């Protein structure tokens, strides 16, 4: 195993390059970089680390979840060869499922809000998924509602239903959290966006088993805002896999702050993040400012390639006209 010296701090950093040899693209999911972002910390005694999930094959953390959902269904005999998979999504899960379903030979139909960025529609079609659009003003909650109605009306579909399937958090319990603990002995706080709840629940349980004092913090959008594909519990839908008792904090983030921090990640640390990553970075910075020392780890769900058409990376925030009417993730 190779060690490199960080000349700025004198620390020895374990070099675990993302790479290796795999039998197929699905096997390459995971083992994403954990990168320190020193310019984001308001306290020199607190180190902020970002788990860069955009390094997965389709560019998001949902590759982990999609693989877990499909492999769990296969192991239980819940799906048959050639059976159509149906799933509500605001983009990333659908894209991940479309890659895996194409590789494994399952037709895929996704239900998605009609106001997502064009890149997500293009990627889904590129992988061969059929898209059913739900009412954009209802966000991802509307996609869930419509998909459940479709599944009830046609029993030939198999719906993994990431919002209520324990294979979702288990992808993180057995994967993401283990990777974090391989790199850091102590985690003062873990911060993630509140979407399906899988990232928070899976990582939170594993990290709290390692150290019950680890804070589990959710970045949550303002009620009614379609920030970064995250969801507000006050909007009325609580994912069945979500256990609010496991959370230590939930902090609200506005659309504007999410975009501002997405730009800060790019300009100050060179990290090309999706808007949900900016929302979580904002909360990680706030938590770091409240601690005396330690490591704050946050998860960046995807990179920015699916959001280029929005203009958020090269326009001042006052010029962004669709800030409150786009589903970002």
Is 276 annotated as catalytic? yes
Is 232 annotated as catalytic? no
Task: Let me know: does 17 contact 265? Beta carbons within 8 Å.
Answer: no
* Measured CA angle at 43 (ends 10, 214), to 5 deg: 90
Query: How many whole angstroms separate alpha carbon 117 and alpha carbon 309?
Result: 7
- Residue bearing tokens 């060869």: 81
From the list 41, 51, 60, 62, the catalytic residue is 62
Query: How many whole angstroms separate alpha carbon 220 and alpha carbon 233?
Result: 8
CA atoms within 13 A on the CB side of 308: 6
| DSSP class of 249 | E
Query: How many whole angstroms separate alpha carbon 85 and alpha carbon 72?
Result: 14
Query: How many whole angstroms separate alpha carbon 101 and alpha carbon 217?
Result: 33
Query: How many whole angstroms separate alpha carbon 80 and alpha carbon 284?
Result: 43
Q: Read off φ and ψ for residue 269, nearest 5 degrees.
A: -125, -5
Q: Which residues pair with 111 in a beta bridge?
A: 88, 132
State the DSSP H helix or E strand holding residue 3, giving kind and residue range, or none if neither.
strand 3-5
| DSSP class of 112 | E
From the list 140, 276, 306, 310, the catalytic residue is 276
Pinpoint the alpha helices (H) of the chain: 62-75, 92-104, 118-126, 139-153, 167-171, 177-183, 198-210, 255-269, 275-290
Give CA 311 to chain center in angstroms.
21
On the 0-12 / 13-18 / 19+ scale of CB atoms within 10 A, 253 is buried
Enumerate the active-site residues.
62, 276
């Amino acid at each position: 195993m190779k060690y490199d010296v960080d000349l700025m701090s004198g620390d020895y950093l374990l070099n675990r390059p993302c790479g290796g040899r795999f039998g197929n693209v699905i096997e390459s999911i995971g083992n994403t970089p954990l990168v320190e972002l020193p310019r984001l910390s308001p306290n020199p005694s607190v180190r902020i680390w970002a788990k860069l999930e955009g390094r997965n094959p389709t560019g998001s953390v949902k590759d982990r979840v999609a693989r877990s959902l499909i492999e769990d269904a296969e192991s239980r005999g819940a799906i048959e060869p050639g059976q159509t998979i149906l799933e509500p999504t605001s983009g990333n899960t659908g894209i991940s499922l479309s890659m895996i379903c194409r590789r494994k030979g399952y037709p895929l139909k996704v239900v998605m809000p009609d106001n997502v960025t064009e890149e997500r529609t293009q990627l889904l079609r590129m992988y061969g998924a059929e898209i059913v659009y739900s009412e954009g003003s209802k966000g991802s909650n509307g996609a869930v509602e419509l998909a459940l109605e479709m599944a009830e009306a046609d029993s030939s579909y198999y719906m993994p239903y990431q919002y209520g399937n324990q294979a979702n958090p288990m992808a993180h319990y057995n994967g993401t959290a283990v990777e974090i603990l391989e790199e850091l002995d102590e985690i003062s706080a873990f911060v993630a966006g509140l979407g399906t709840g899988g990232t928070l629940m899976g990582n939170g349980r594993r990290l709290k088993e390692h150290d019950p004092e680890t804070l589990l913090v959710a970045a949550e959008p303002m009620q009614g805002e379609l920030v970064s594909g995250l969801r507000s519990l006050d909007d009325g839908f609580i994912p069945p896999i979500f256990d609010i008792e496991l959370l230590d904090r939930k902090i609200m983030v506005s659309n504007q702050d999410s975009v501002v921090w997405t730009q800060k990640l790019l300009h100050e640390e060179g990290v090309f993040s999706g808007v949900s990553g900016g929302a979580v970075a904002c909360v990680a910075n706030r938590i770091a400012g409240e601690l005396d020392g330690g490591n704050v780890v946050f998860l960046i769900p995807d990179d920015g390639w699916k959001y280029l058409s929005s203009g958020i990376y090269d326009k001042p925030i006052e010029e962004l006209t669709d800030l409150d009417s786009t589903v970002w993730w």
